[in-house]
Amino acid sequence: MNKVLSGFGNVLYFVARIQKKLRLSAIRDSVIDKSSTIEGGCQIVGCHIDRHSFCGYDCVILNAKIGSFCSIADSVYIGGANHPKHFVSTSPVFLSHRDSVKAKLARHEYVDMPRTTIGNDVWIGHGAKVRAGVQVGHGAIIGMGAVVTKNVLPYTIVAGNPARQISSRFRDCVIEALLKVEWWSFSDDEIKRIAHNFNDPETYLRSAGLIP
């Protein structure tokens, strides 16, 4: 009986996975490298996503530049628009652009959607939120559920609400060397030739003559 239920459960699991993958994503005014992947249920507007990056399910990314080799988990929110806090009201009912409200009681011009920049080789955990206009440095890690309201330095790990730096991924000299070499800008063939050392950053950097 358990084997029957297990087999049926596996079938249901794969059917559910297929249904999840078949969901459409809303993508507009964006450039996404053909080697990158956007999973189902996402909203991507005004973005540039470089090569070999992936975005999980149910993400919202607005007006952002995302580098190469980035890993974005499910339910991540990046960017967005600000409301006019210096007006009498913050409601879009009084703004000229199209949005979710049905009525327009005035049509004041106001658009404030700062560009958000995610560097190369950044990992963003499940459910994280990155405020519009924030710059996330190369190699950074943003923890699950983090709320990022300030810039994130390269190769640092941040977590919490508001997000705070927990640690650095490597020694300062290693970080400096990785930023100098910019391996993410190499061609795929060049990366294949050196990737056998990617499980040991210091060995890779020594082989490249970048650290003693």
How do residues 114-166 score in pLDDT, each as one tens digit? Answer: 999 999 999 999 999 999 999 999 999 999 999 999 999 999 999 999 999 99
| CB distance 182 to 121 below 8 Å | no
Six token digits for residue 207 = 């082989």
Letter for the amino acid at 150? Answer: K
- What is the residue whose two structure tokens read 């969901």? 23
Six token digits for residue 189 = 């063939």
Quick check: pTM over 0.75? yes
Domain spanning 25-169, CATH class: mainly beta
- pLDDT tens figures, 25-77: 899 999 999 999 999 999 999 999 999 999 999 999 999 999 999 999 999 99
What residue segments make up the domains of the chain, in order of their start?
Answer: 25-169, 171-212
- Residues assigned a catalytic role: 83
